Amino acid sequence: MGSLFEASDIFEIAMRIEENGSNFYRYAVQLAKDEEAKKMFSHLAEEEDKHKAIFKGMLSKIETHYPPENYPDEYGAYLRDYADNNLIFKKEALDKELIRVTDTLAAIDFAIRRELDSILYYHEIKGFLPAGEHGSIEEIINEERRHFNLLSQIRQKYA
């Protein structure tokens, strides 16, 4: 019996993370009152679009790769459970949280949490990918860290 979790699923999830991030940052542009915040959120939306394109490219050339498992579908079950229980994916939870995002500071706080969620997810999926893809994932992790740092620095202005 093959894995119920296809390697391509991790890229579909990653593309959704980036798409959700891009959509959120575009929403945050509308909330922001000052030009600096608008520019930052707009820039971050464009970055997330680029990440989605990278994952789309990886998806188009992926070979099925299954990591060593202690029991059948162990890793797939783990990633599915992570995805299902992580706020990045739970629309109802996101909608409840987004209701409270009514200004730039709240948008920054929300974005910081999502960037951290993304970093954690991307670290986790590396174990599911061939070693040749690790460099690309590391680049995206580093970019997400830069987003986190940028948001954290700007947050100080609004706190």
**More reliable by pLDDT, 14 or 68:** 14
Residue 141 has pLDDT above 50, yes or no: yes
Handedness of CA 59, 81, 148, 113 (dihedral sign): positive
Q: What are phi and psi of 19, to 5 degrees?
A: -65, -45
Residue 3 has pLDDT above 50, yes or no: no
Contact call for residues 89 and 83 (beta carbons, < 8 A)? yes
Q: Residue 4: pLDDT band by 50, 70, 90 thresholds?
A: very low
- In a domain? residue 78: yes
Q: Which amino acid is at 143?
A: E
**More reliable by pLDDT, 126 or 8:** 126
- In a domain? residue 1: no
How many domains would you assign to the chain?
1
Contact call for residues 11 and 62 (beta carbons, < 8 A)? yes
pLDDT in tens, 15-57: 888 888 898 999 999 999 999 999 999 999 999 999 999 888 8
- In a domain? residue 31: yes
The Cβ of residue 73 has, within 10 Å, a number of other Cβ atoms equal to: 15
- Token duo for residue 48: 């997330």
- In a domain? residue 71: yes
pTM: 0.77
pLDDT of residue 59: 79
- In a domain? residue 2: no
The Cβ of residue 77 has, within 10 Å, a number of other Cβ atoms equal to: 15
Residue 114 has pLDDT above 70, yes or no: yes
Q: Which domain holds residue 40?
A: 7-158
